[in-house]
């Protein structure tokens, strides 16, 4: 890993010095299970420390797309043909509402089983959560 942040939990998990269940590891990112999953909840973490979604630029789009596709691949491998992709939520918490200061893509499934609080926490187009597709659109339009 070229850039890490001392004391960052996610950098520690990627480096293998903090506990975490790694589901997939790629050259530029790692996919882990959420530390306290209530649903099928994975997190895709860039291997290089990126503070949060607000610091991203157009140049980061390929990384974000790879993280999303690989996260879906992990879910597809688990559920096979039973997977209903319309029940998948993918996105990022927007600062100052992020729980960790290391960019992480949430993938949650199935939305039909979310509690009221989870529906609120991962509400698309809210001030605290941005869907993956909306972030990509925003970055594509930026200069």
Q: Give ∠ CA 98-85-133 in degrees, rounded to 5.
A: 45
Active site residue 104: yes
Q: Of the residues 41, 104, 106, 132, which is catalytic?
A: 104
- DSSP string for residues in 66-127: HHHHHHHHHHHHHHGGG--GGG-EEEEEPTTS-SSSS--EEEEE-GGG--HHHHHHT-TTBT
Active site residues: 104
């Amino acid at each position: 890993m070229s850039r890490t942040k001392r004391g960052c939990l996610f950098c520690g998990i990627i480096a293998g010095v903090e506990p975490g269940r790694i589901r997939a590891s790629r050259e530029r990112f790692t996919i882990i299970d959420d530390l306290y999953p209530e649903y099928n909840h994975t997190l895709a973490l860039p291997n290089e420390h990126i503070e949060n979604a607000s610091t991203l630029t157009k140049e980061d789009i390929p990384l974000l797309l790879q993280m999303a596709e690989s996260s879906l691949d992990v879910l597809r491998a688990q559920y096979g043909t039973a997977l209903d992709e319309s029940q998948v939520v993918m996105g990022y918490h927007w600062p100052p509402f992020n729980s960790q200061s290391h960019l992480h893509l949430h993938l949650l499934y199935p939305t039909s089983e979310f509690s009221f609080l989870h529906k609120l926490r991962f509400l698309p187009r809210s001030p605290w959560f941005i869907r993956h597709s909306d972030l990509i659109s925003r970055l594509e339009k930026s200069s």
